[in-house]
C-alpha cells in the first residue's frame, strides 16, 4: 500500500458523498483506475465506519459547546455590568450561529440554559417562593421566561450580525 493509497482511503468517504473539488475527484478516480486495493475499499462499506466516527466526533464537540453555553449563561447572568452582558451575549449568539448555522439552535441555546438556571437559582429564594403556591410558582416561571427572553434577544442580535456577515462575504 502506497502513500497515495492512504490519502485516497481518507478521501473515500468524501468522494462517495461527492464533497470534493474537481481536481481531487480526478486524483481519486485516476488512483482507483490503477489500484485494485483501493477499488475494493471504494466498493466495500468499510469507509462507512470512518464516517460514523467523524459524526460521533462532531456530535461530541456539539455537546461540549452546549455544556459551555450553559456555563456561559450562568456566568453572564451574574455580571453586574449591563453593557458587558449585552455585548457578551451578542458575541455568544454570533459564534453560536457560525458554529451551527441554525437560528433555532441559537434561540434554544441562549434561552433554555438561562431559563433553567433562573428557576434553580430562585426556587429556594425567600423573596420569590415562600409557600410554593401556584401563584408563586407562576411568578417564578414568568420571571425565568423574562430573563431567558432578555438573554435571547441579545443572542439573536449577534446571530443577525453573523447572518449578514455570511451573506456579504459570499
Mean pLDDT of 92-104: 83
Residue 159 φ then ψ, to 5°: -65, -40
Mean pLDDT score of the chain, rounded to an integer?
78
pLDDT at site 156: 92
**In terms of DSSP H, where are the helices of the chain?**
3-16, 22-34, 36-43, 46-77, 82-100, 103-122, 134-169
Answer positive or negative: Cα dihedral of 32, 56, 67, 132: positive
Mean pLDDT of 2-26: 84
3-state SS class at 78: coil
Give the pLDDT band of residue 120 (cuts 50, 70, 90): confident
Return all residues near 147 (Cβ < 8 A) that are at least 6 apart.
77, 114, 115, 118
The x, y and z cell numbers of residue 99, run together, are: 458554529
pLDDT at site 160: 93
Q: What pTM was computed for the model?
A: 0.56
Mean pLDDT of 135-160: 87
Select the highest-mean-pLDDT range: 20-24, 41-45, 58-62, 71-75.
20-24
Amino acid at each position: 500500500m502506497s502513500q497515495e493509497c492512504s490519502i485516497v482511503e481518507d478521501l473515500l468517504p468524501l468522494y462517495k458523498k461527492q464533497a470534493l473539488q474537481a481536481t481531487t475527484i480526478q486524483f481519486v478516480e485516476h488512483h482507483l483506475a490503477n489500484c485494485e486495493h483501493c477499488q475494493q475499499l471504494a466498493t466495500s462499506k468499510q469507509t462507512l465506519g470512518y464516517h460514523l466516527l467523524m459524526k460521533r466526533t462532531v456530535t461530541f464537540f456539539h455537546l461540549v459547546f452546549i455544556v459551555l453555553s450553559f456555563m456561559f449563561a450562568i456566568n453572564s447572568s451574574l455580571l453586574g455590568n449591563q453593557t458587558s452582558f449585552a455585548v457578551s451575549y451578542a458575541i455568544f449568539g454570533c459564534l453560536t450561529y457560525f458554529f451551527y448555522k441554525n437560528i433555532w439552535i441559537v434561540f434554544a441555546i441562549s434561552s433554555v440554559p438561562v431559563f433553567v438556571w433562573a428557576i434553580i437559582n430562585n426556587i429556594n429564594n425567600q423573596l420569590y417562593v415562600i409557600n410554593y403556591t401556584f401563584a408563586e410558582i407562576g411568578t417564578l416561571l414568568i420571571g425565568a421566561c423574562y430573563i431567558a427572553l432578555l438573554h435571547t434577544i441579545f443572542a439573536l442580535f449577534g446571530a443577525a450580525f453573523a447572518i449578514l456577515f455570511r451573506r456579504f462575504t459570499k
